[in-house]
Chain A
């Protein structure tokens, strides 16, 4: 955090509220489990001991009401797309979305299919696209770190708890 004043002999740091709130928020990104295809296997692997999402405070939630981040991992069919919109609206503001893998980015392998949505950004706003088929755990980790950087730039107090680029 830039611009902080550190008073060493009093064990004190003087900072802005926004910086503190952002720091707390980025240190506990709880993500919604949304594995729809094989990318979910890599998502599980990212939570495993080698990449270990937990060490940056990211844990999975099974309910959208406790989640800050939605990781759409896998192929999205039209039938599932309506459920994704519903779950996205159930998440509390401010909320972020990672689109993981080619299928969620643009339809990928199934772009000529009759039943697959060609990119999850057709229905919900996406912050980070992670390319790959499926992306390796390191790639997803990079995506989550990018979300942390976005979080550090927010002004929640000024924007009444909403994101600065909220739609």
Chain B
């Protein structure tokens, strides 16, 4: 993400809600979770930005901060640059707006994150588990996930050979 792109965003949303951070290897922009959809629509359709390609969406669990952070990777064919957006939600009630209406493909990523981290995406067209069975208990990629001893009468552990 260029500084120019960030300036355009900051002009529209204000420097308090959109924070640019370049201390890491890849600079990113931190967005508040209730503004994520607005920011995405703006960044996609603005004539000077046009971040039309959605790379990936991933989730990171931070139990010590009690937050789950969502990382959006976008690419602009016009500027030829990558942009990283980060939004963090409360771990106890992880909820934020779906961006399926902006990039259709984001719906799949959101379902996967719902499956593995338990984040609830509001106004998603089909918010249910993607890979795991529907009756699965818990979210396996959370750091405090404990595997149950049995799943459908199948043992989930195996003794090491003596």
Binding site for B on A (CB under 8 A): 78-79, 81-82, 106-107, 111, 114-115, 117-119, 122-123
* Total contacting residues, chain B, CB less than 8 A: 12
Contact A115 B132 (CB under 8 A): yes
Contact B132 A122 (CB under 8 A): no
The residue that B154 contacts in the complex, of A106, A111, A114, A122, with Cβ under 8 A, is A122
- Of chain A, the residue at the smallest CB distance from B116 is A114
A interface, over-half SS: loop
Contact A119 B158 (CB under 8 A): yes
Q: Mark B137-162, 1 if CB is under 8 A from A, else 0.
A: 00010000101000110111110000
Q: How far is the CB of B13 from chain A (nearest CB, A)?
A: 39
Q: Residue B47 at the A interface, CB < 8 A? A: no
Contact A79 B155 (CB under 8 A): no
Q: How far is the CA of A115 from the CA of B156 in the complex (A)?
A: 9
Q: How far is the CB of A130 from chain B (nearest CB, A)?
A: 17
- Nearest 10 Cβ contacts at the A-B interface: A118-B158, A114-B140, A78-B151, A114-B147, A79-B133, A122-B155, A119-B158, A122-B154, A106-B158, A81-B154
Chain B contacts for A117, CB-based, 8 A = 154
Q: How far is the CA of A106 from the CA of B157 in the complex (A)?
A: 10
Q: How far is the CB of B105 from chain A (nearest CB, A)?
A: 24
- Of chain A, the residue at the smallest CB distance from B151 is A78
Q: How far is the CB of A109 from chain B (nearest CB, A)?
A: 13
Contacts A78-B133, A78-B151, A79-B132 given; does A114 touch B145 at CB 8 Å: yes
Q: How far is the CA of A79 from the CA of B54 in the complex (A)?
A: 30
Chain A contacts for B157, CB-based, 8 A = 118
Contact A123 B132 (CB under 8 A): no
Contact B156 A118 (CB under 8 A): yes
Q: How far is the CB of B8 from chain A (nearest CB, A)?
A: 43
Q: How far is the CA of A119 from the CA of B152 in the complex (A)?
A: 15
Chain A contacts for B147, CB-based, 8 A = 114
Contact A107 B158 (CB under 8 A): yes
CB-CB contacts below 8 Å: B68-101 with A? none
Contact B140 A111 (CB under 8 A): no
Chain B contacts for A107, CB-based, 8 A = 158
Q: How far is the CB of B158 from chain A (nearest CB, A)?
A: 4
Chain B contacts for A82, CB-based, 8 A = 152
Contacts A78-B133, A79-B132, A79-B133 given; does A115 touch B140 at CB 8 Å: yes
Chain B contacts for A111, CB-based, 8 A = 158
Contacts A114-B145, A114-B147, A115-B132 given; does A78 touch B158 at CB 8 Å: no
Q: How far is the CB of B108 from chain A (nearest CB, A)?
A: 18
- Of chain A, the residue at the smallest CB distance from B155 is A122
Chain A contacts for B145, CB-based, 8 A = 114
